Amino acid sequence: MINLETPRKQAGLVDQAHQLAMNMLRPISRKYDRAEHDYPKELDMLAALIDGVSETGATGGAGAGGVRRDASAEDAGKVRNGANLASVLSIAEMCWGDTALLLSMPRQGLGNSAIASVADEEQLERYKGTWAAMAITEPGTGSDSANITTTAVKDGDHYVINGEKIYVTSGDRADSVVVWATLDKELGRAAIKSFLVRKDNPGLKVERLEHKLGIRASDTAAITFTDCRVPAEDLLGSPEIDTKSGFAGAMATFDNTRPLVAAMAVGCARASLDLTRDLLDQAGVVIDYDRPAQAQSAAAATFLRLEADWEGAKLLMMQAAWMADNRKPNSLEASMAKAKAGRVGSDVTLSCVQLCGTLGYSEAELLEKWARDSKILDIFEGTQQIQLLIVARRVLGLSSAELK
């Protein structure tokens, strides 16, 4: 059974992440928000520290431990608080410091989560240490990943990839990209596979960097693939097309990354709540946890509602990660966590701007930045609307064809 307290063995890691967020990320947050596309060189030292922690076995490395279904016999019946739970808890703390800087950290790309979820054991070892971006979205394909048009055609010992990807987080800085492509368009979802493509591979070209509303410190790129030859051994997982399992292999990646994005929203929202609580206190607004909300000021009642909503998002995030650690299917919970946290993140950060008035809207505080940053967390890795659709399908037991 899941215990919703932070596991004791991970308390030290969580505290360390918070200290890094407070002392390293928060102080440079505004600097790199203004200096869009400048690489935060301070992160190199932070990445070295994280690598050192990973080598001790205290974490599962970049992108958590993946969502794998093959529980071993020796793990049967045991309750594990592993790499996935450690990752979401530490990511939430780091995003309390700055979400964009967390997304900019070397070797911590969303593509690393795809590798952790889909790659075989030999690939996991071979790709250790890589910094992988993840390329899914295309100019004509957003939320419906099954309609991917980027193709991968087998040619001897290689696959030849052609297509265009947009909104690739860390697409310029990462040293490799996990590219989603179809082996056969006529076979639909089942033919979609992911490939690890190195940035120096001929045929891969970073076309441009996007200017964005938020997470400005994180580079977001458009990338084209023109007759890009990738060794067959760099197709993640099995090359076989299994029409019975359909999109299952690809969706395993989302089962891993969606709780991570939920954690980002949870961390960013908590930053807003913590600062707003302090600013309200300085303004003489008392928030009394021993009195009902309706018996307090409107500002205090609103704050209590926001905090309760945030708590629900955090618990769903922890549940989805805990289930992954214990090799339990978590597609429903991952989408619930992402949907709840994404909405809560936007609601909390914007409401905190409103509660704090001119201080919230000005650049005197970071509240307006957090409101801008949080919006993407309700969009990428599957929009709010798509998450609710997935939840409805799971609850009602309907297929994607039956409920669109």
What pTM was computed for the model? 0.93
Taking only the tens place, the pLDDT of each residue in 237-246 is: 889 887 666 5
Domain check: are 315 and 382 in the same one? yes
- 335 and 391 Cβ atoms separated by less than 8 Å: yes
- Residue 109 domain flag: yes
Taking only the tens place, the pLDDT of each residue in 202-249 is: 999 999 999 999 999 999 999 999 999 999 999 998 898 876 665 665
Residue 113 in this model has a pLDDT that exceeds 90: no
Q: Residue 58's pLDDT is what?
A: 45
Taking only the tens place, the pLDDT of each residue in 117-153 is: 889 999 999 999 899 999 999 998 877 777 899 999 9
Rounded mean pLDDT, 65-79: 54
Taking only the tens place, the pLDDT of each residue in 241-300 is: 876 665 665 677 888 899 999 999 999 999 999 999 999 999 999 999 999 999 999 999
Which segments of 232-309 are extended strands (E)? Answer: none
Position 154, amino acid: K
Domain check: are 259 and 339 in the same one? yes
Residue 54 in this model has a pLDDT that exceeds 80: no
- 274 and 349 Cβ atoms separated by less than 8 Å: no
- 92 and 15 Cβ atoms separated by less than 8 Å: no
Final residue in a domain of this structure, among 178, 208, 234 = 234
Phi, psi of 66 (to 5 degrees): 85, 165
Domain check: are 74 and 160 in the same one? no
| DSSP secondary structure of 22-33 | IIIIGGGHHHHH
CA distances from 92 to 13, 87, 103 (A): 12, 8, 12
- Quick one: pLDDT band at residue 73, thresholds 50, 70, 90? very low
Q: Residue 187's pLDDT is what?
A: 87
Number of separate domains in the chain: 3
Q: Which of 210, 307, 381, 402 is catalytic?
A: 381
- Quick one: pLDDT band at residue 302, thresholds 50, 70, 90? very high
Of 339, 317, 251, 308, nearest to 88 by C-alpha is 317
Domain extent, residue 75, equals 8-126
Residue 404 in this model has a pLDDT that exceeds 50: yes
Give the separation between CA 132 and CA 142, rounded to whole angstroms.
20
Domain check: are 122 and 140 in the same one? no
- Residue 402 domain flag: no
Portion of the chain with pLDDT greater than 70, in percent = 90
Domain check: are 24 and 139 in the same one? no
Domain check: are 338 and 365 in the same one? yes
Residue 18 in this model has a pLDDT that exceeds 70: yes
Q: What is the CATH number of the domain that holds 107?
A: 1.10.540
Residue 71 in this model has a pLDDT that exceeds 70: no
Q: Residue 56's pLDDT is what?
A: 45
Portion of the chain with pLDDT greater than 90, in percent = 73
- Residue 168 domain flag: yes
- Quick one: pLDDT band at residue 61, thresholds 50, 70, 90? very low
Residue 69 in this model has a pLDDT that exceeds 60: no
Domain check: are 279 and 388 in the same one? yes
Least confident of 48-57, 327-336, 345-354: 48-57
- Quick one: pLDDT band at residue 75, thresholds 50, 70, 90? low
Domain check: are 260 and 368 in the same one? yes
Q: Residue 64's pLDDT is what?
A: 40
Give the separation between CA 194 and CA 211, rounded to whole angstroms.
27
Domain check: are 266 and 218 in the same one? no
Spacing of C-alpha 146 from chain mean position: 20
- Residue 404 domain flag: no
Final residue in a domain of this structure, among 170, 205, 234 = 234
Residue 178 in this model has a pLDDT that exceeds 90: yes
Q: What is the mean pLDDT of the chain?
A: 90
- Residue 240 domain flag: no
Rounded mean pLDDT, 85-107: 94
- 83 and 325 Cβ atoms separated by less than 8 Å: yes
- Residue 58 domain flag: yes
Give the separation between CA 99 and CA 371, rounded to whole angstroms.
11
Q: Is 381 a catalytic residue?
A: yes
